[in-house]
Structure 1
């Protein structure tokens, strides 16, 4: 099976709080995360596992941990994932648990970027696993601005945009489920605010 435990032994216990980053579609979670890592490369972002085939240019262990169905299901049965999902009724996706534990135990600022349903699955399981979690919601300045950004990407058809915007309305309504909200007015400001939160959580001098 693919090795997804790069830091220390499987007995490592968490000593910090995991930051779970979520928010509505097109809000810019990935862009904020990328800016944060550009400025603070010591931050570790969890790499998901998947059973789908690698796309051109994707690297195992960087973009995803690529697994066979049998490998994934065996790891799932063994409790090796923090959360899992089946996407489009086909490919399995999951967050490997041990790398999260090990980075937290090593005092490494640790982030999981995930959709709303994934954040809810983490919340259901975190307590039984002994994980302390801070749930961070990345919000747009307004729904109209979110709509402008989505349309401006030019990556979806009008029908797909309409579906995403309906999904975004549902996701925005879940903001109260999170501990902290960061408004993505600009990527720089949101990344700075996220780093301030991380520095507080991990006792890092800014």
Structure 2
């Protein structure tokens, strides 16, 4: 069985990363999204173990001490972390695994998984990003302004990523995202593992 590929997808808050990942995984059952642990409160409509594993700060820091996380970071006064054991199990089962993490987490993961691929999603403009944050109706103006400031810092790290997608037209951006996964599966090394028996038969 061919081992899966680890994908890192990052974006500023409001760029549409979560919607794009949901659209991608709805059509491709070979892709799984790693469910992060977080200390932030559960939002309306979210489910434990689906959107996040919700834990308190003491539980989270205990997991940090036991080296349970592949990466972890503090964002907007809350902690987020990725379970290393879960990611490695999914990759060995042949699944492509997506990590939705920020640039700090991406740096940590790349040190351990040098063959991972990273994708950065940009909004079409600063105005569009602010409008999307306002339309979500989740935050007051002060928090939105803070997210906009943090977005500039997040986007300044775009050059550390392998691919860049601009989420202007959602359907088109989703097609671009899917093309990255499809192209990677056709790389020589990936195909050699998958087509081992065929290659042996053809090269007799």
- Residue 70 of structure 1 and its aligned partner are, at CA, apart by 5.8
- SS class of match (1:132): coil
**Alignment CA distance shift 1:18-1:160 (3 Å):** same
- SS class of match (1:107): coil
Structure 1 match to 2:157 = 174
Alignment partners' CA distance in 2, 1:143 and 1:117: 22
1:194 equivalenced with 2:177 (yes/no): yes
For the aligned residue pairs, the C-alpha RMSD in angstroms reads 2.8
| One of 91, 97, 102 as aligned partner of 2:84 | 97
Q: Could you tell me the TM-score, scaled by structure 1's length?
A: 0.76
Alignment partners' CA distance in 1, 2:66 and 2:18: 30
**Alignment CA distance shift 1:57-1:84 (3 Å):** same
Structure 1 match to 2:128 = 145
- SS class of match (1:181): strand
**Alignment CA distance shift 1:146-1:52 (3 Å):** closer
Aligned length: 187
Segments of structure 1 that go 5 or more residues without pairing to the other structure are 1-13
Alignment partners' CA distance in 2, 1:57 and 1:104: 29
* C-alpha contact 2:119 2:165 (8 A) present in aligned 1: yes
- Residue 44 of structure 1 and its aligned partner are, at CA, apart by 0.1
Structure 2 match to 1:117 = 104
**Alignment CA distance shift 1:201-1:26 (3 Å):** same
- Residue 71 of structure 1 and its aligned partner are, at CA, apart by 4.9
- Residue 131 of structure 1 and its aligned partner are, at CA, apart by 5.0
* C-alpha contact 1:22 1:115 (8 A) present in aligned 2: yes
Alignment partners' CA distance in 1, 2:19 and 2:6: 19
How does 1:1-206 map onto structure 2 within 5 Å?
15-51=3-39, 58-67=46-55, 71-87=59-75, 92-123=79-110, 125-126=111-112, 130=113, 132-203=115-186
* C-alpha contact 1:107 1:202 (8 A) present in aligned 2: no
Alignment partners' CA distance in 1, 2:75 and 2:180: 31
Alignment partners' CA distance in 1, 2:142 and 2:23: 30
Segments of structure 2 that go 5 or more residues without pairing to the other structure are 192-204
Bigger share in helix: 2
- Residue 133 of structure 1 and its aligned partner are, at CA, apart by 1.3
Deviations 1:93-122 (A, max 9, x none): 310001111111222121001123322332
- Residue 193 of structure 1 and its aligned partner are, at CA, apart by 1.3
* C-alpha contact 2:3 2:95 (8 A) present in aligned 1: no
Larger Rg: 2
